Amino acid sequence: MKIAVMATCLGDALFPQAVQATVQLLQRLGHTVLFPPGQTCCGQMHVNTGYLREAVPVVRHHVEVFGPVAEGTWDAVVAPSGSCTGSVRHQHAVVARRAGDERLAERAEAVAARTFELSELLVDVLGVSDVGAYYPHRVTYHPTCHSLRMLRVGDKPLQLLRAVRGLELVDLPDAEVCCGFGGTFAVKNSDTSTAMLADKMRNVLDTRAEVCTAGDSSCLMHIGGGLGRLRTGVRTVHLAEILASTEATQTPAAAGSPGGVRDEPVEAQR
Amino acid sequence: MSTTDLGMPAVRDDSRDTGLPTHSPAGQGHLRGTTSFPRAARTELADTQLRRNLGKATGIIRAKRAGVVAELEDWEDLRLAGSAIKADVMARLPELLEQLEENVTARGGTVHWARDAEEANRIVTELVRATGADEVVKVKSMATQETGLNEALEAAGIAAWETDLAELIVQLGHDTPSHILVPAIHRNRSEIREIFLREMPDVDPALSDDPRALAMAARAHLRRKFLSARVAVSGANFAVADTGTLAVVESEGNGRMCLTLPRTLITLMGVEKLVPTWSDLEVFLQLLPRSSTGERMNPYTSTWTGVTPGDGPQEFHLVLLDNGRSAVLADPDGRAALHCIRCSACLNVCPVYERVGGHAYGSVYPGPIGAVLTPMLTGISGADDPNASLPYASSLCGACFDACPVRIDIPNLLVQQRAASVESHTRPTAQDLAMKAAAVAMTSAGRFRAAEKGLGLGRLLAGREGRITSLPWPASVVASHWTGARDVPAPPAETARQWWERTGGGA
Ligand code: SF4
């Protein structure tokens, strides 16, 4: 299959290791992966913050860049993010229609129909749940809200994790409760967001897992940021990185935060 | 399985804004607080007793609800039916309201129409005055909380006695409700005991904090009121258009006392509470108790139709309240908010509500539905309006949509109201400018790359809230609001795009 990777703005700028892992995993499974160079962002931040008009050109740009999948030039688009896939699938056409652009809406729907979150692509489209990964760590999985309730990925990520050799999967208590990220919610309502994060961290720590994984770098940035701040020693690693890991190319357990973390903005430290 | 569109915006046609249906006027009733949600939340979050009380109470109700909902194989079909009936009601609300008026009148009741909170309060006050009574007993009602009826009656020298246990606790504690169904959910039993000891005239000073002892004390306190009151004021859960029947569902039986003993009954009801036919009640009487109290069936369901000579109240007034509902109805995408049957399931599953409680919302309608319904009823007057912050009081996690018995897509409505909030800005805010700049950067790979690289990730990460950077995502996210509790991910040596350009995906 010819699969285009949608890196997402956050994945591109801050979590390239999740994007690289997605590419390497799909290549290992025998697929051709490409990186459309024009890609930027799906526009979800604009939509979810109420900037629906401003989102229209961002959606148009996305639809142009990923248009070849609608023509069949590529077979699928994959994103290592439930949230961004959800935006493409459930927001793009509506943003376009609201602006009165029916043609864009239809084109957005055609692109969305072939756009998948990683676990959906693997289990539903490619029909694999054992990707041949090896990851000898104690891991707990946080189902992110948008993969759970917008995409309804169900237990697909768990099927994939259960098949990973060496991996000890521990159930996360109250897994389905939001971690408190919510995009701009995390800064607009930072106190409430932090209170939610505290409970998520407590549950993660209760599992005594070394690694907390999820299908969204954004939620992991939030959970990992909290776990790091408290120096808990628990890492956050994107699902793609675990699935990309093999005996030969074992991702270090710390891959989720290759350069470590900082508790101050970079500039402030200079 | 159903899916929610977590934040799906909808088409808005500005041209149909005739300016006719009006919002709930500012300064009336209890639909607007004085501080923005984030500030109010900050105070509430620091109340450790509140956190404990709410966490415990919502946890219990959530588990009960999940249990009884799982028992029904046709739960999803019931939700679809509930949603379809309400959509039908909204589509022909004027016609159904007239039908209701006709049937209530034919059965000996009197129907009044109230444009807003003050008009409703005035109508009720005059009706009570006409009976010569100086006190009323009250059935728990959100509509009368919304209009601030108790205060209006008090100002007219009429005492209003709340008879619902939780509402009584709030009233005696000189407090405000924090939950649609359990207004005193923020109180635990030892706090309730203290309130009773302080405020109930002849309560046993040895009163314990055993829930049964507390209920018995309330019962003794209320019994005298029930027997002496000549006027009762209620809300309504449902009104059946084709029979003119009103319905109240409750757990305690206090409502039944109020609805049957006094000579005069005055019901204040939002216009959206209609169902077309008697048989439609079947759907809602299954959905409501399971969603609200987690019971298969509520202990008391009272229905009445006009006046029955020699049985129950001999005078019945129905006051139909608009107070912004027409404005909500006029928005075809937003009107689903009027489908709400006030079960409170969305509050109980909301991770924000569970931690912050109801008071931070500043409105009698808290939680996810309150965060959309409140600004829809009042309109948003600008960036400084406390109600402008309500649609943002959610992480858009979608738990509310899954729990809602009438399938209101609350995340979608939240995003719509966020758009309304943004569109209310008369001058561009710093955030508006940052979002516009980001949209420009995001429509060209070259500009996007420049934003990532040219500015330098360091500078991006150092962005402060409100500062204009070319890429507020994730720049503004890493403002001090982020770093207060969370570390910042260290910027990678190269972006995914740079890695691809260097390796072609090869290594
Ligand atoms: S919005 Fe739905 S879940 Fe929330 S109170 Fe109303 S009916 Fe219940």
How many angstroms separate the CA atoms of A165 and A162, rounded? 8
What pLDDT score was predicted for residue B480?
66
Q: Is the pLDDT of residue B389 over 90?
A: yes
Q: Sheet containing A235-238: which strands, arranged edge to edge?
A: A168-170, A138-141, A211-214, A235-238
The secondary structure of A168-185 as a DSSP string is EEEPPTTTTS--S-TTTH
By mean pLDDT, which of A252-266, B283-297, B425-439 is the weakest?
A252-266
Q: Give chain A positions within 8 Å (CB) of B399.
A: 145, 149, 176-178
B239 strand-pairing partners: B246, B274
Q: Is the pLDDT of residue B163 over 60?
A: yes
- Contact call for B5 and A190, based on CB within 8 A: no
Question: Would you say the pTM of this structure is higher than 0.80?
Answer: yes
Is the C-beta atom of B325 inside 6 A of ligand 1?
no
- Report the atom number in ligand 1 closest to the C-alpha of B343: 8
Average pLDDT of the segment spanning B149-156: 97
What pLDDT score was predicted for residue B60?
96
Residues 78-107 of A with CB under 8 A from B: 86, 90-91, 94-95, 97-98
Q: How far is CA A168 from the centre of its chain?
A: 22
- Contact call for B499 and A20, based on CB within 8 A: yes
Is the C-beta atom of B290 inside 6 A of ligand 1?
no
- Report the atom number in ligand 1 closest to the C-alpha of B344: 5
Neighbours of B464 (CB within 10 A): 14
Torsion of the alpha carbons at A259, A261, A267 and A269, rounded to the nearest 10: -100
List pLDDT tens digits, range B311-321.
999 999 999 99
SS3 A201: helix
How many angstroms separate the CA atoms of B272 and A9, rounded? 43
Q: How far is the CA of B350 from the centre of ligand 1 (A)?
A: 11
Considering only the beta carbons, identify the residue of B5, B397, B486 that sits closest to A225: B486
Q: What is the end-to-end Cα distance of chain B in Å, rounded?
A: 40
Closest CA to A234 of A242, A243, A225: A225
Place B490 in a pLDDT band, splitting at 50, 70 and 90.
Answer: confident
B232 strand-pairing partners: B137, B265
Closest CA to A216 of A131, A133, A151: A151
How many angstroms separate the CA atoms of B287 and B400, rounded? 15
Q: Closest Cα of chain A to B479: distance in Å?
A: 8
| Domain parsing of chain A, residue ranges | 2-125, 138-255
B303 strand-pairing partners: B247
- Side-chain-facing half-sphere of A264: CA atoms under 13 Å: 5
H or E segment at A138? Answer: strand A138-141
From the number of C-beta atoms within 10 Å of its C-beta (0-12, 13-18, 19+), residue A202 rates as exposed
Number of Cβ pairs closer than 8 Å across A and B?
294
How many angstroms separate the CA atoms of B346 and B365, rounded? 11
Q: How far is the CA of A201 from the centre of ligand 1 (A)?
A: 29
Q: Closest Cα of chain A to B14: distance in Å?
A: 11
Q: How far is the CA of B262 from the centre of ligand 1 (A)?
A: 31
Average pLDDT of the segment spanning B224-229: 90
Considering only the beta carbons, identify the residue of A46, A150, A178 that sits closest to B435: A46
Contact B363, B371 (CB under 8 A): no
Fold match, A2-125 / A138-255: yes
Q: Name, in order, each residue with C-beta under 8 angstroms of B15's C-beta and a sequence gap of 6 or more.
A: none
What pLDDT score was predicted for residue B466?
30
Contact A210, A246 (CB under 8 A): no
Place B444 in a pLDDT band, splitting at 50, 70 and 90.
Answer: confident
Residue nearest atom 8 in ligand 1 by C-alpha distance: B343
User: What is the chain A residue with the closest CA to B14?
Assistant: A98
Residue type, B271: V
How many angstroms separate the CA atoms of B148 and B155, rounded? 11
> Which residue in the block uniquely carries the two structure tokens 């994984």?
A213
Q: Closest Cα of chain B to A9: distance in Å?
A: 8
User: What is the chain B residue with the closest CA to A268?
Assistant: B462
Question: In chain A, what percentage of residues exceed pLDDT 90?
Answer: 89
Say which CATH architecture domain A138-255 belongs to.
3-Layer(aba) Sandwich (3.40)
Is the C-beta atom of B336 inside 6 A of ligand 1?
no
Closest CA to A224 of A253, A206, A245, A197: A197
- Report the atom number in ligand 1 closest to the C-alpha of B292: 8
User: What is the chain B residue with the closest CA to A10?
Assistant: B474
Q: Give chain A positions within 8 Å (CB) of B479.
A: 187, 265
H or E segment at B401? Answer: helix B399-403
List pLDDT tens digits, range A176-189.
999 999 998 998 99
Q: Give chain B positions within 8 Å (CB) of A54.
A: 435-436, 438-439
Answer yes or no: CATH 3.40.50 is held by domain A2-125.
yes
ipTM (interface predicted TM) = 0.93
Q: Which domains does chain B have, with CATH numbers?
A: 37-62+335-423 (1.10.1060), 93-321 (3.40.50.10420), 432-503 (no CATH)
Structure tokens at B31: 């639909």
Q: Name, in order, each residue with C-beta under 8 angstroms of A157's C-beta and a sequence gap of 6 or more.
A: A119, A141, A143, A147, A215, A239
Q: What is the end-to-end Cα distance of chain A in Å, rounded?
A: 46
Residues of chain A with pLDDT under 70: 250-270
Q: Name, in order, each residue with C-beta under 8 angstroms of B96's C-beta and a sequence gap of 6 or more.
A: B89, B241, B274, B276
List pLDDT tens digits, range B250-261.
999 999 999 999
